[in-house]
Amino acid sequence: MSWNRVLLFSSILFYVCIQQQFWAGSSINKNKSMVEHLQRYGIVQSKKVTEAMESVDRALFVPDGSSAYEDSPMPIGFNATISAPHMHATCLQLLEKNLQPGMHALDVGSGTGYLTACFALMVGPQGRAVGVEHIPELVAMSLKNVEKSAAAPLLKDGSLALHVGDGREGWPEFAPYDAIHVGAAAPEIPKPLIDQLKPGGRLVIPVGNIYQELKVVDKNEDGSVKVRTETSVRYVPLTSKEAQLRGY
Ligand SMILES: C[S@@+](CC[C@H](N)C(=O)[O-])C[C@H]1O[C@@H](n2cnc3c(N)ncnc32)[C@H](O)[C@@H]1O
């Protein structure tokens, strides 16, 4: 077998191995059942994350005709995806302590707006949930999705906002943030995101190219940071709009 074939097969095998999926198919047809499954697999562990995920119906955020509650990422156009429910749940759990009422949260690569909506419900009307997405059409779509969801009142009162922008620069207007989530894999952790993290704040970000790891970055009170690896993951790249639109 040629080296090219060996390489191709090993990358497919690698991709399949790290594409964790806790259930498949469309047998789950209710948002509540999806959250129950995530609890059963130990991914959703807290009341607060349960409440947020039960309140934000995933069906409002996936393209029409998709099996909304399947544990799988789904294409949303523009070479982007909505992340799988278990990844949304994992990130919400990792950030829960930094998503308390009144706190500030930033969602970089907000895509469909699903996770920004969950953040908004968790930080509440006294807090701030800011999404930044670089494809204007996806921002327009995410605004429509949120308007149909339980987070609509928070969009109306301005505590939830979705902006067009390069998320690698963060969103300085509402910094510093208690929680920052990045929904696309960066080659390295962008400095502006660390700068915009509050002391005591937490950043959750996939890092890497072909091989990616979900990193948890905690900022100490003295401004230093501690970085640890949570798990292996597979995300679309955090890149320029041009690179994304030509297929990376
Ligand atoms: C996995 S997708 C969507 C994730 C989102 N959490 C969701 O589930 O709907 C990642 C998103 O990051 C966006 N993205 C990639 N690079 C970006 C950048 N530099 N600035 C802002 N958004 C970016 C993509 O357009 C895409 O919508």
Q: How far is the CA of 215 from the centre of ligand 1 (A)?
A: 17
Cα–Cα dist 163/166, whole Å = 9
Whether 48 is in a domain gets the answer no
- Which whole number is the average pLDDT over 12-25? 54
- pLDDT tens, position by position, 191-213: 999 999 999 999 999 999 999 99
Q: Is the pLDDT of residue 13 over 50?
A: no
Q: Is the pLDDT of residue 103 over 60?
A: yes
Whether 140 is in a domain gets the answer yes
Cα–Cα dist 114/131, whole Å = 10
Q: With pLDDT > 90 as the criterion, what percentage of the chain qualifies?
A: 86
What residues line ligand 1, using a CB cutoff of 6 Å?
Answer: 80-83, 108-112, 114-115, 132-135, 138, 166-168, 183-184, 235-236, 238-239, 244
Secondary structure element (H or E) that encloses residue 197, with its range: strand 197-208
Catalytic positions are: 83
The mean pLDDT of the chain is 92
What pLDDT shows up at residue 26?
Answer: 56
**Confidence band, pLDDT 50/70/90 cuts, at residue 20:** low
Whether 183 is in a domain gets the answer yes
Contact by Cβ (8 Å): 69, 85: yes
Q: Is the pLDDT of residue 227 over 90?
A: yes
Task: Report which ligand 1 atom has the smallest distance to the Cα of 83.
Answer: 8
Contacts for 208-212: CB closer than 8 Å, 24+ residues apart? 209/185, 209/237, 210/11, 210/14, 211/14, 212/185
Whether 156 is in a domain gets the answer yes
Cα–Cα dist 163/191, whole Å = 20
What pLDDT shows up at residue 18?
Answer: 45
**Confidence band, pLDDT 50/70/90 cuts, at residue 27:** confident
Q: Is the pLDDT of residue 14 over 60?
A: no
Cα–Cα dist 166/148, whole Å = 26
- Which domain covers residue 166, as residue numbers? 86-245
Q: How far is the CA of 111 from the centre of ligand 1 (A)?
A: 5
Per the structure, how many domains does the chain have? 1
- pLDDT tens, position by position, 128-155: 999 999 999 999 999 999 999 999 999 9
In 3-state terms the chain splits into helix, strand, coil percentages (rounded to 5) of: 40, 25, 35
- pLDDT tens, position by position, 36-68: 999 999 999 999 999 999 999 999 999 998 899
Probe target for ligand 1 pocket from 236, 240, 242, with the most ligand atoms within 8 Å of CB: 236
What CATH number does residue 152 fall under?
A: 3.40.50.150
| Residue whose CA is at the smallest distance from ligand 1 atom 7 | 82
Whether 45 is in a domain gets the answer no
User: Considering just the CA atoms, what is the radius of gyration of the chain in Å?
Assistant: 17
What pLDDT shows up at residue 142?
Answer: 98
Which carries the bigger pLDDT value, residue 77 or residue 5? Answer: 77
Whether 134 is in a domain gets the answer yes
Probe target for ligand 1 pocket from 19, 58, 134, with the most ligand atoms within 8 Å of CB: 134
What pLDDT shows up at residue 15?
Answer: 42
Whether 70 is in a domain gets the answer no
Whether 209 is in a domain gets the answer yes
